[in-house]
């Protein structure tokens, strides 16, 4: 269930989803670019997507990784210029339900409270990014790597046991707000302790419990 649709009744929810068009994306395919005209809202049905932005200098930052049940595009539809605020790329074969801007506008007209709900969800996003900023300023790199890796492992976990996170070390570094070499050092320490195993463009979490302990350890 997508949080955006939770407040809707079953009839309105089904009618809204009936207007959605299923779209499939291959690994590393760009769903939208920062600055593109925004013509649809996407509900993530399958796979994982990375949301990242860039500066005029060419520097990039990864804001978050979306999993099934997440969504994106609602902010661009509410903005006056209707432009995408970030680039979204598929980390693996992924699938979304794309709802046209006209259908989203119609939903807001039929349910006046939906914009208030969207505003609340946007506030949650701002709070999430604010906490990430505080982490970047005051938390150690080790702890930031532990937390992001734990979040990713939980997102990708399907059964009990090792979890494969199909991210490169460079992508993980972008997510924690650091460069690759120091992140590699943190990962190598975890690998030496048997918590993770490293391979090309993927990180396998072998001991989720140990990773959880490192996230909660305040020393």
Provide the residue ranges of all domains of the chain, joining segments of one domain with +: 3-136, 140-216
> What is the pTM (predicted TM-score) of this model?
0.82
What is the homologous superfamily of the domain 3-136 according to CATH?
A: Jelly Rolls (2.60.120.10)
Q: Could you tell me the fold of the domain covering 140-216?
A: Arc Repressor Mutant, subunit A (1.10.10)
Q: How far is 173 from 136, CA to CA, in rounded Å?
A: 12
**Per-residue pLDDT tens listing for the chain (219 residues):** 787 777 777 887 887 788 889 999 999 999 999 989 888 889 999 999 999 988 777 777 888 899 999 988 877 677 777 888 899 999 999 999 998 888 777 777 877 767 777 777 777 777 877 787 777 777 899 999 999 999 999 999 876 678 999 999 999 998 998 899 999 999 999 999 999 999 988 999 999 999 999 988 755
Distance CA 140, CA 210 (A): 18
């Amino acid at each position: 269930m997508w949080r955006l649709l939770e407040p809707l009744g079953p009839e309105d929810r089904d009618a809204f989803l009936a207007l959605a068009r299923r779209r499939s994306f291959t690994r590393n395919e760009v769903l939208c670019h920062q600055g593109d005209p925004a013509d649809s809202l996407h509900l993530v049905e399958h796979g994982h997507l990375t949301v990242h932005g860039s500066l005029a200098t060419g520097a990039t930052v990864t804001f978050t990784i979306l999993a099934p049940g997440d969504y994106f595009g609602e902010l661009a539809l509410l903005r006056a210029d209707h432009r995408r605020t970030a680039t979204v790329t598929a980390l693996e074969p992924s699938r979304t339900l794309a709802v046209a801007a006209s259908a989203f506008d119609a939903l807001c007209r039929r349910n006046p409270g939906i914009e208030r709900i969207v505003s609340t969800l946007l506030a949650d996003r701002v709070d999430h990014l604010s906490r990430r900023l505080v982490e970047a300023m005051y938390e150690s790199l080790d702890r930031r790597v532990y937390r992001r890796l734990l979040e990713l492992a939980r997102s990708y976990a399907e059964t009990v046991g090792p979890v494969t996170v199909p991210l490169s070390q460079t992508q993980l570094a972008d997510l924690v707000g650091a460069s690759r070499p120091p992140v590699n050092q943190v990962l190598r320490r975890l690998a030496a302790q048997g918590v993770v195993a490293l391979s090309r463009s993927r990180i396998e979490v072998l001991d989720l419990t140990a990773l959880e302990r490192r996230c909660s350890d305040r020393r």
